[in-house]
Amino acid sequence: QVQLVQSGAEVKKPGASVKVSCKASGYTFTSYYMHWVRQAPGQGLEWMGIINPYGGGSTSYAEKFQGRVTMTRDTSTSTVYMELSSLRSEDTAVYYCARGTRDGYNYRTDYWGQGTLVTVSS
């Protein structure tokens, strides 16, 4: 069965960086994209970007996060990573990875990780 297992909660100081991992199992890792979505406390869902684990690991990021976010993958361990730098208090949120399944020319989210709480506090 498809499983996405994310790394544990993090507490970071403003200005620091955080790197969250998402380990995939139960399917062919390089055949599906991976999205990252975050949710601030009590708020809605916000898409951050997407990575193609196949080949060179191409990415597409939401403009809001351009320059601060980096998504990478390790095909040997079927793991994708999301690193967010220059953290500020507004980045306190639960970060989710979600598998991207092709639908025509687009990629919908189907299976989701359990989420990783990142707290930014001085």
Partner 1 sequence: DIQMTQSPSSLSASVGDRVTITCRASQGISNYLAWFQQKPGKAPKSLIYAASSLQSGVPSEFSGSGSGTDFTLTISSLQPEDFATYYCQQYNSYPITFGQGTRLEIK
CB of 118 to partner 1, least distance (A): 15
Residue 64 beta carbon to partner 1: minimum distance, rounded to whole angstroms: 8
Nearer to partner 1, 13 or 90 (CB): 90
Closer to partner 1 at the Cβ: 3 or 14? Answer: 3
In whole angstroms, how far apart are CA 60 and each of 16, 18, 26, 120?
23, 19, 25, 25
Residue 27 vs 47, nearer CB to partner 1: 47
Residues that bind partner 1 (CB under 8 A): 35, 44-47, 50, 60, 62-64, 96, 98, 103-104, 106-115
75: DSSP letter: T
Contacts of 73 (CB under 8 A, 6+ apart): 34, 51, 53, 57, 79, 80, 81
| DSSP letters spanning 7-23 | PPPEEE-TT--EEEEEE
- Minimum Å distance from CB 40 to partner 1? 13
> Could you give the 3-state DSSP secondary structure of residue 36?
strand
Closer CB to partner 1, 41 or 56, in the complex: 41
